[in-house]
Structure 1
Amino acid sequence: MSRFQWSAIAICVLLNTLDGFDVLVMSFTGKTVSGEWDLDSGTLGLLLSSGLAGMALGALLVAPRADRVGRRPVILAGLTVAAGGMLLSSASQNWQQLATLRLVTGIGIGAVLACSNVIAGEFASRRWRGLAVSLNSTGYAVGATVGGVSSVALIDHCGWRSVFLAGGLATLAVIPFAFWFLPESLDFLLTRRPANALERVNSLARRMGQPVLTELPHFDETERTADRGLRSLLTPDLRRPTLVLWGAFFLVMAAFYFVTSWTPTLLVEAGMSSTQGLTGGTLLNLGGVFGTALLGALAARYALIGVLRTYLFLAGALIVAFAASTDTLALAFCIGAVIGVAVNGCIAGLYALTPGVYSARLRATGVGAAISVGRVGAIIAPSAAGWLLDADWTPLALYVTTGVVFAAAALLLFAMGPKHPTAGAALTTKPAGSVC
């Protein structure tokens, strides 16, 4: 791994940091927004879900374009859309406007998240690919943590609109940085071969300490599976792993976004102050910083899918324990931080697992589709939680159900099968065309 490869991954981590702030800003401002506009739990759930709906659309409809036009231009476009959505959200006058703008912001974020994970994996060597993608997810947890910490101060002094404004300005500021320093995917250049592909490949090769090429490697034109779009994900050789990944993403993201979106609010309803509720949500995200990094380190040594299953079972058990500990502030905060380690690691594990299933020509499409299916669960979960609370469900019942969902996802991964590459190694399959 050259310094240039690590720097490319670091830029992806930075992009995910901004996305983590932008995605979860609604969960940190939800209680204040709800109080100002006198919203019920169901309406607040719709606000929490609207950004996730946009992320699903961005991952499903925009991210696959990266397999045709390149990862870099799709990321730059997504950043621009996300920045505009955040800035306009700070000026919204009612919940309908805010929900629409959260949808727009989510479209941009969904495209960036899918493509940045693909680039991080493609610039990593086979041994460190799991760590690279996990570190990318660490950026998301860092952004969510910064969002929680800054939200406490910004809401107290400037109101909830200032949180959206800060996120929008930060996203806007990083666009020129990404324009100058974010490289195009080497795998994309080798397989799609846009204009001046050989010169661009050699430029990257020099920066990576690799020998230059006199001509592009031969590529079998029959492998142009990306041209068939989403249908190519369900061909006989990919159908089983694709469906398993879709099911796992759906379950894990539904559980994850219920926990991250509702925990600050439910802690307040359990008797804590608003500041204590935000602190609890922040600790959960802070634990995610360590959880994603730890998963990546373990994936460099052990089979990634086995590490991921362990994380999923652990997350399920911890969430049930957390729900039973809210009467004791210190214990709840401690368990909340450990839950952050587990649940964020589950998301990072799925992100790391998915790129190794698909070839370079289909990778952004495959990752985007899996994330999009996951977002369906993420959209349903916050809104469903709001409706269930209105129907007199207790927070304990919701958390126990969430624990069961994590355990179900762990069991589902056993269906990946021992013959699949991701079941026996930490993403050691070398992608088509890679010289990393």
Structure 2
Amino acid sequence: MTQQTYKTSNSSHSYVDLKSVIDTRNLSWLQYTTIFICFLMNMLDGMDVLIISYTAPSIAAEWTISSETLGLVFSAGLLGMTAGAMFLAPKTDIIGRKPMILLSAILMAGSIFATAYANSIVHLVIFRFISGLGIGSMLASTPALTSEYTPNKTKDFWVSLVISGYPLGAFLSGLVAASVIPTYGWRTMYQVAGVATAITIPLIYFLLAESLDFLYKTQPKNALVKSNRILSKMGLDPLTHMPDVKKEAVKVSSFNSLFTDGRKGATIGLWVAFFMSFVTLYFLTSWIPKLAANTGLSLELAIYAGTVFNLGSFAGILTQGYLSGRFGLRKVIGTFLIMTALLMFTFSAFSGSILVLVLFGLIGFAIQGGFVGLYSVAARIYPTEVRTTGIGWAIGAGRIGALVGPLLGGLLIGMNVSTTINFLIFAIPAIVAGIATYMIKSKDVS
């Protein structure tokens, strides 16, 4: 890879100059390392979220507790993720991307490992809430950092790639759980997951770079030294002094900033799209095995339905990221979400056939591809000073939908509403999400 330097007449890079360099030069090893670590952390997010689902049957059997009681544990995790995204992640715009990712990893590793030694439902609820805090803030911080280290024309692909670690981690952890839990017990699964997460802490500390965008815009203590260290690793000339920043640009991020400077309409549209996408997505991820079994598939094939869904999701996320760079972010995401609804409308034609597994794979491809693209939209809508705040609150709005989808699905299934009708009902939020995405207006979103 050719090294490139960039100088200004003042022997100091300006923010605009460096942005131009990042947009036009090849990625440096530092940028690839940043992308890889963010991808890895999202894989661990997927593992840490789904681990309770894999271990719940064993916990229920050992402790002789009801599904309703375990529901409190599931809810505690989701509540923690919502709080982490909405209230912890915004601190990233104050303390920096790297410190928050490091803190999130510590919260996740400690609480997941501690769960192996839980002896009551109260312990489980506390540990799941704490791990949720880390997961929620991690999911908001990693796309923000990725977007700030990648070229504009391929930014959407890289952000999507990083978020694709989530379903991949869920899929791989399912394979590990299938071999670990029957042989060694559910507690060992939490020990394995806790250690796997803890291993990333030194990787983050020693290898992850702080965002140059953040250092330039907020100029914290030792910003010049930190910036020059990063510039050196990227093969760029050092700064003699920090670029001038307008006084009004250096300010504490706040919730209100999401609705100023012409961002009100885009913020509301983004929240609607996230909420509606989460409603459909979490209905599907929560109930697919049950719904597949209801169509007449064997128990084994019904379990495979979830696996096929996650594999389709991974492929959809990468495809969406590539297509968004070529045809425009809003257009591609909106199309993916509406395609989800159209596929769900065709469910009755596949019901009872093994081809329903193919349909689940295609639905996973469309819904996850569209949903993950919303992270790229959020990363583009908001400036550096409030980027993680914006992503975090959008995820938080979505998490409310994550509570509504499975709950409503459970009520409908309990009322013996047919699988076909369920799919028709939950196709509607996907359509609304697609339309809301099309209507998001921002000069920074194609």
Overall identity of the aligned pairs, in %: 33
Residue deviations 1:341-390, cap 9 Å, x none?
11221222001111111111111111111111111111232233334433
Corresponding residue for 1:152? 178
Q: 2:208 aligns with which of 182, 188, 206?
A: 182
Q: Distance in 2 between matches of 1:383 and 1:39?
A: 20
Judging changes above 3 Å, is the alpha-carbon distance between structure 1 residues 9 and 322 closer, same or farther for their aligned structure 2 residues? farther
Unpaired runs of at least 5, structure 2? 1-26
1:383-417 deviation digits (Å, cap 9, x = unpaired)? 33334433433443333222111111111223223
TM-score, normalised to structure 2's length? 0.87
Partner of 2:263, secondary structure, is helix
Other-structure match for 2:262: 237
Match of 2:243 in 1: 217
Match of 1:301 in 2: 326
52 and 78 in structure 1: CA distance in 2 versus 1, 3 angstrom threshold: same
Partner of 1:9: 35
- Unmatched segments (≥5 aa) in structure 1: 426-436
2:305 pairs with one of 253, 267, 280: 280
- AA aligned to 2:83 is L
**Counterpart pick for 2:125 among 95, 99, 123:** 99
Q: Which amino acid aligns with 1:243?
A: I
Alpha carbons of 1:51 and 1:213: their partners in 2 closer, same or farther (altered >3 Å)? same
User: What is the match of residue 200 of structure 1?
Assistant: 226
Q: 1:309 to 1:250 in 2, by over 3 A?
A: same
Which of 192, 196, 202 is matched with 1:166 structurally?
A: 192
- For residue 126 of structure 1, report the CA deviation from its aligned partner: 1.1
Distance 2:308 2:167 in 1: 10
**C-alpha contact (below 8 Å) 2:266/2:440 kept by paired residues:** yes
Q: Which moves more between the two structures, 334-343 or 113-122?
A: 334-343
**What is the aligned partner in structure 1 of residue 13 from structure 2?**
none
8 Å CA contact 1:24–1:261 kept in 2: the answer is: no
Given residue 113 of structure 1, which amino acid in structure 2 is its aligned partner? Answer: L
List aligned pairs for 1:358-397, cutoff 5 A: 358-397=382-421
Equivalent residue for 2:14? none
Bigger Rg, which one: 2
Verify: 1:339 aligned to 2:381, yes or no. Answer: no
Which amino acid in the other structure matches residue 251 of structure 1?
A: M
Q: Shift in Å at residue 324 of structure 1?
A: 5.8
* Mapped partners of 1:259, 1:49: distance in 2: 17
Compare 402-411 and 81-90 and name the one that shifted more.
81-90
- 1:124 match: secondary structure: coil
The one-letter code of the counterpart of 1:356 is R
Counterpart Cα distance in 1 of 2:134 and 2:197: 11
Per the alignment, residue 251 of structure 1 pairs with 276
Distance 2:348 2:54 in 1: 20
* Greater Cα offset, 121-130 or 250-259: 250-259
Does structure 2 retain, via aligned residues, the 8 Å contact 1:30–1:44? yes
Higher-RCO chain (CA-CA 8 Å, sequence separation at least 6) = 1
1:412 aligns with 2:436: yes
Query: Match for 2:427: what amino acid?
Result: G
Shift of 1:248: 0.8
Q: State the match for 1:421 in structure 2.
A: 443
Normalising by structure 1, report the TM-score: 0.89
8-17 or 157-166, larger mean C-alpha shift: 157-166
Greater mean deviation of Cα atoms: 383-392 or 352-361: 383-392
**What is the Cα deviation at residue 229 of structure 1?**
0.9
Give the superposition deviation at 1:54. Answer: 1.0
Asked whether the equivalents of residues 49 and 383 of structure 1 are also in contact (C-alpha less than 8 Å), the reply is: no
Distance in 1 between residues matched to 2:415 and 2:131, nearest whole Å: 30
Name the CA shift for 1:274/1:186 in 2 (closer, same or farther; >3 Å).
Answer: farther
- Cα RMSD (Å): 2.3
Q: Which residue of 1 aligns with 2:88?
A: 62
CA distance in 1, matches of 2:290, 2:70: 10
